[in-house]
Amino acid sequence: MAFGVLALQGDFAAHAAALRALGVGVRDVRRCRDLDGLSGLVLPGGESTTLLKLMADEPWFDALARFHGEGGALFGTCAGAILLAREVRGPAQPSLGLLDAVVERNAYGRQVESFETTLDAPALGGSIGGVFIRAPRLRALGPAVEVLARHDGEPVLVREGSVLAATFHPEIAGEARVHRLFVESARAAVVA
């Protein structure tokens, strides 16, 4: 199995390192054609409007929808989670609509209000670390969306089928369990 990290902008190198530490093959994805042969793709944190501008030169939305439709697993963190949502607020912007969620951008505040904390994650063995940097909030979730971790009662890590989304940065916190879960989700999608 091969995995990719969307390497247009953001913290893609940290995600690639986290996946390599799990022993999986990883490559940077900079063009739609780079999706060929991948089992899973990470959409990293960064700045969602910048990512949208960088994605404008190729048919990324169609390519990612096709990738997902053909069984490819997706994992979005922070800005990546925003891109996966069905609706984006604060302000509104285009998104892939592959996760039945409403996301509010920068909902925890500005850069100076960024923080690191411990999250309640019974699905991952108890608690995990998370770093929130100008992070979004999940304001509404569809009935098929499973909450895997919470911060102060709010969902921060969710899964719908082979789509995983975190409003925080597990790759900065050194939290390998989230990336392991993503790899396992991709493997399960291949078996199904």
For 146-189, write each residue's pLDDT tens digit.
Answer: 999 999 999 999 999 999 999 999 999 888 999 999 999 898 87
Interstrand relation of 73-77 and 163-166 (parallel, antiparallel or unpaired): parallel
For 107-132, write each residue's pLDDT tens digit.
Answer: 887 777 789 999 999 999 999 999 99
Asked if residues 132 and 111 have their Cβ atoms less than 8 Å apart, the reply is no
Q: Is residue 169 flagged as an active site residue?
A: yes
pLDDT value at residue 192: 56
Q: Which residues contact 61 (CB under 8 A, 6 or more apart)?
A: 55, 94, 96
Q: Is residue 146 flagged as an active site residue?
A: no
Q: Would the pLDDT of 90 be above 70?
A: yes
Say which of 78, 160, 175, 179 is annotated catalytic. Answer: 78
Nearest to 3 by CA among 36, 27, 30, 33: 27
CA distance 4 to 2: 7
Considering the four listed CATH numbers 3.40.50.880, 3.90.180.10, 3.40.50.150, 3.20.190.10, the one that applies to the domain covering 2-191 is 3.40.50.880
pLDDT exceeding 70 applies to what percent of the chain? 98
Looking at per-residue pLDDT, the higher value among 26 and 1 belongs to 26
Say which of 15, 151, 169, 179 is annotated catalytic. Answer: 169
Q: Is residue 171 flagged as an active site residue?
A: yes
